[in-house]
């Protein structure tokens, strides 16, 4: 039961690393695409992009 939530530090570190890299790549893509592209997106598309 203990290993259900916490297996080892490697899996937690990997999850945090992937999350941070995904967030940074999303910010980079939005910066490259520009404000005009972002303003032309529908809210549903932006929501799906963020998820």
Rounded distance between C-alpha atoms, residue 16 and residue 24, angstroms: 12
Amino acid 18: pLDDT:
95
> What pLDDT score does 3 carry?
67
Q: Which residue has the higher pLDDT, 22 or 38?
A: 22
Confidence label for 48 from pLDDT (cuts 50, 70 and 90): confident
| pTM value > 0.75 | no
Q: What mean pLDDT is predicted for residues 14-34?
A: 87
| pLDDT for the residue numbered 9 | 83
First to last CA, the chain: 30
């Amino acid at each position: 039961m203990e290993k259900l939530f916490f297996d080892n530090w490697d899996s937690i570190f990997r999850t945090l690393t992937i999350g941070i890299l995904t967030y940074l790549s999303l910010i980079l893509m939005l910066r490259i695409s520009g404000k005009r592209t972002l303003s032309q997106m529908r809210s549903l598309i932006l929501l799906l992009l963020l998820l």
